[in-house]
Amino acid sequence: MARRTDRTSPPPAKAWIVINGRADRECSLLDGSPAGGKVVVEDGCRIPDRFELAPFQAIEKRRKCEVIWRRGKVLGIKFIS
């Protein structure tokens, strides 16, 4: 059986984790979708369960997030209202 398409992942998007209205640390967003994605940070255990995520250098366009799972430096997040 032939594969229909080769899967490729887009490069990680740079973003900022915003805590209490301040850009706290830089991160990378992987597998982003309108519903959520994966965030890679240096110290995943220090990130609160809820935070805001802003596109790199666009803090005014931040979105509220909730951590749904943690695996070391990688966090699974969903966007919330």
Residues 5 and 69: their CA atoms lie apart, in Å, by 30
**Spatial CB neighbours of 2, under 8 Å, sequence gap ≥ 6:** none
Q: How confident is the model at residue 7 (pLDDT cuts 50, 70, 90)?
A: very low
pTM exceeding 0.85:
no
Q: How confident is the model at residue 8 (pLDDT cuts 50, 70, 90)?
A: low
Amino acid present at 69:
W
Integer angstrom CA distances of residue 22 from 2, 4, 31, 54: 49, 45, 24, 10
Q: What is the model's pLDDT at position 4?
A: 56
Domains and CATH numbers, the chain: 13-79 (2.40.10.430)
| Segment 14-48, tens digit of pLDDT | 999 999 988 889 999 998 889 999 999 988 788 99
Q: What is the model's pLDDT at position 6?
A: 54
Q: What is the model's pLDDT at position 57?
A: 66
